């Protein structure tokens, strides 16, 4: 009798955990589909910019390429989540953050102070990436 009570006690939290994990997985699949649609739109916009002949088009092209990489990184993060048994590696978030800051520097380079601060943020994320990827952290 005592053993049955223990199994019933653990069933409720395990059931809630499984249900929430299922909701998370479905939500991430929907997000991945939305990202694929936006990636297709960005591809179309990138092709249009490639055929423009102006000075502004070159800046727009670089910006669109960086945004394109952001979509790829988010999709790679979702793929990695499912391949690593429902775990988001921290280094992927750092990759996304670095790419987003590079995009911000490209788009908003009007103020030297802001560019310096954005560069400092990139440096901090690169240091964090080094620390996360170091062997000392992998051993623990």
pLDDT in tens, 5-36: 556 667 778 888 899 999 999 999 999 999 99
The tens digit of pLDDT for each residue in 75-127 reads 999 999 999 888 888 888 999 999 999 989 988 878 899 999 999 999 999 99
For residue 55, name the pLDDT band (cuts at 50, 70, 90). confident
- Report yes or no on whether pTM surpasses 0.85: no
Do the Cβ atoms of 98 and 92 come closer than 8 Å?
no
User: What CA–CA distance (Å, rounded) separates 94 from 127?
Assistant: 10
Residue 24 sits at the vertex; the CA angle it makes with 23 and 28, to the nearest 5 degrees, is: 120
């Amino acid at each position: 009798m005592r053993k049955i009570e223990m199994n019933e006690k653990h069933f409720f939290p395990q059931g809630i955990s499984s249900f929430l994990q299922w909701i998370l997985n479905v939500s991430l699949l929907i997000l991945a589909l939305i990202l694929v649609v936006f990636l297709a739109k960005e591809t179309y916009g990138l092709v249009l910019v490639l055929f423009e002949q102006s000075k502004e088009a070159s800046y727009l092209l670089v910006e669109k390429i960086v945004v394109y990489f952001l979509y790829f990184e988010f999709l790679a993060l979702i793929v990695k989540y499912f391949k690593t048994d429902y775990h988001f590696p921290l280094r992927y978030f750092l990759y996304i953050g670095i790419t987003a800051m590079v995009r911000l520097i490209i788009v908003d380079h009007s103020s030297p102070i802001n560019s310096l601060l954005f560069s400092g943020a990139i440096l901090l994320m690169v240091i964090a990436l080094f620390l996360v990827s170091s062997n000392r952290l992998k051993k623990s």
